Structures are given as structure tokens and as C-alpha cells.
Amino acid sequence: GDSVTQKEGLVTLTEGLPVMLNCTYQTIYSNAFLFWYVHYLNESPRLLLKSSTDNKRTEHQGFHATLHKSSSSFHLQKSSAQLSDSALYYCALSSNTNKVVFGTGTRLQVLP
């Protein structure tokens, strides 16, 4: 079945440095939708960005990601981390199956 891999459980970096959270996926279907959800402490998880178009950059709130079907990747990036970016980030996949599959999440900790 479909699966999503987020290898890093925790990413810690200093404010101002670039952010890259890795996400790879597996599906037998060609029409994959990929998502990034963000979960801030004491809030509900919410959609950050999504894409189904190969090699097209998607941006929202300073974050961006590009779906690369050739490498089955959808890494989340930001040019300069802010303290307020500290949160739990989930990558997710939807294909021809009935459900959206989430990765295990990556906690981003931004230090001053």
C-alpha cells in the first residue's frame, strides 16, 4: 500500500538558517497528491501546502516544496527559519486509495 517516509524525527537549527524537511513516498499510482501539514503546540494541525503537479514549486507562508515524481520526493523548505516555525510537520500522500496516508512527522525546533 501507499507509504510516506519522514526519516528525521527531530530537526534542530538556529534562527536564520535554511530549513529542509525530507519527505519521500511510495505508491503504485501515477496520480499522487502530496501534502504538508503543520501542527503548532496548543493548536490543531492544519494544511500548509499541497501539490500534484510534477516539478512545480508550491509556496505558502514562506515555505515551499516541489513534487518530484522521478525521485518520489516532496521536501519542505524555507530560506530562513524563524522561532515561530517551531512545530511538528507531517508529510502526507493521497493516491487512488480511499485514504490519506501520513508520515510519522518531523519536529522542527528553531533556536535563537
Partner 1 sequence: DAGVTQTPRHEVAEKGQTIILKCEPVSGHNDLFWYRQTKIQGLELLSYFRSKSLMEDGGAFKDRFKAEMLNSSFSTLKIQPTEPKDSAVYLCASSEDRGHTQYFGPGTRLLVL
Least Cα distance to 33 among 112, 101, 95 occurs for 95
Least Cα distance to 40 among 79, 83, 86, 6 occurs for 86
φ, ψ for residue 75, nearest 5 deg: -75, 140
Q: Rounded to an integer, what distance in angstroms lies between the CA atom of residue 23 and that of residue 21?
A: 7
Work out which of 85, 105, 108, 110 binds partner 1, going by CB under 8 A: 105
Q: Rounded to an integer, what distance in angstroms lies between the CA atom of residue 14 and that of residue 93?
A: 29
Question: Is residue 64 near partner 1 by the rule CB under 8 A?
Answer: no
Question: Is residue 33 near partner 1 by the rule CB under 8 A?
Answer: yes
Question: Is residue 96 near partner 1 by the rule CB under 8 A?
Answer: no
Using CB under 8 A as the binding criterion, the count of chain residues that bind partner 1 stands at: 19
Question: Is residue 99 near partner 1 by the rule CB under 8 A?
Answer: yes
Question: Is residue 5 near partner 1 by the rule CB under 8 A?
Answer: no
Work out which of 35, 36, 63, 74 binds partner 1, going by CB under 8 A: 35
Question: Is residue 3 near partner 1 by the rule CB under 8 A?
Answer: no
Question: Is residue 90 near partner 1 by the rule CB under 8 A?
Answer: yes
- From residue 4, how far is each of 25, 35, 79, 94 by CA, in Å? 4, 11, 24, 10
Chain residues that interact with partner 1, rule: CB under 8 A: 6, 33, 35, 37, 44-47, 50, 90, 94, 98-105
